[in-house]
Structures are given as C-alpha cells and as structure tokens.
Chains A and B, each alone.
Chain A
C-alpha cells in the first residue's frame, strides 16, 4: 500500500501518463477526407487535385500562439521540398477572415492558405488540438497526425515527409 505521503506523487504520475500526446501513425491508413475550400489566392482548392504529391495539411488560427510559432518552420519546409513533389495547405479555422488577413499581412507565407469558416473540414479530420498537422501520402491516404506544436517538432515532420517522398505514387 502506498504510504499516504506518496499519494500526491502517485496521483500526479498517473495524471501525466494519461495525458501524453504522441504523434499517431495511421497505418492500414484510411483515405484522407476530401475537401474543396476557398483559396486566399483566389478560386477553390480541392484535396483530390493534389493527388500524386505528398500533402501536409496544417489547421491554424491567428489566435493560436503555437500556430503562429510554427509558421516559419512550415514555410521553410514548403520552399525546400516543393520541387520534390511536396505541397502544403494552411487551413484557417476562424469564422471570419479579418484576423487571419491581418496576421498574414504582417507575416506572409508562401504556401496556400484556405478558409474553413464553418469548420466542416476541421470536423471531418477530427481536429482535437490546435494546431493540428496532418500528412497525406501520394495516394491520398492519411498517414500521420500531429497534435500540438513545440519548437523542434518540425524535425519529425521532415523525417516523415522525406520517407513519403521516397514512396512511389
């Protein structure tokens, strides 16, 4: 029997175990849910149109600190791997565009920004943390889902992207 004095420590450890946030590998991988959203650069962009490329989907909002922090790393990833068959979309989940536009005006990025104001796509991807970064392979299957962002997480993304780039279409 754990001595009473140790209860708080044991309880805290139990809490910690309950709350780890790993990246989940989705093998036996389901197809990534389709979407067709308004592109900030004009027109619409559909996921099916990106088939054959490795796609990274980043769900973000201007009010989300870690999302803003992640953007420079994502932008760099996009520039570096685009020539090799990689692409990225940043899906903004805010109900109105104004705050996102103001943020992007001050800190522009080169990858496409899409708007999901009614959160239907966020719902279909089961977004359960902000930010959420999802990786889709060349065959349109959902392979990796990353919840949350801490500086340094981009190393793991890069590893997974390079592995998927090596796979055949």
Chain B
C-alpha cells in the first residue's frame, strides 16, 4: 500500500499548491510555438506505442516513456 499512499500525498500537495497564485511566465496567448503540432511529444500514438513494444520485448529495461503536457493550454 505504500506507493499508493505516497501518490495520494502527492496529489493532495499538488491540489493545495494549485490554489496559490503563481503568475504563468508564458501567457496563454503566447503559446503559439508550444501549440504547434510539431511540438507534440507524441504525434502518432499508434506508431510510438508499437516501437515501445518492439524495444521492451527485446531489451531488459522498460517504462517511463511518458507523454503528457504541452499543447495549446486552452480551456
């Protein structure tokens, strides 16, 4: 149960800090470059998940491939 408790604590902490007012240094209207499709971590999930599978079935390491964030930051 330990990892789950740690995760819960992380969520709680982030929720609390989410309340504080940190002024974003990249404004929502300055996200032209970040919102460009070529800046997506993962433009073609069908292909990247396949390659991840090719490597993980032939190498001893796996995990932490991640792909969140970026984008237009709208809404």
Contact = CB atoms under 8 A, between A and B. Distances in A.
Interface of A: 4, 7-8, 10-12, 14-15, 18-19, 21, 59, 61, 63-67, 93-95, 119, 122-123, 127-132, 148-150
Contacts of B5: 4, 7
**Interface of B: prevailing SS:** helix
B53 interface: no
A150 B75 contact: yes
Contacts of A127: 27-29
A63 B75 contact: no
B9 interface: yes
A8 B28 contact: no
A150 B4 CA distance: 34
A128 B18 contact: no
Interface in B1-35: 1, 4-5, 7-9, 11-12, 14-16, 18-19, 24, 27-32, 35
A8 B12 CA distance: 7
B70 to A, nearest CB: 12
16 contacts: A4-B8, A7-B8, A8-B8, A12-B11, A63-B31, A66-B74, A94-B32, A119-B27, A119-B29, A119-B30, A127-B28, A129-B75, A130-B31, A130-B74, A130-B75, A148-B75
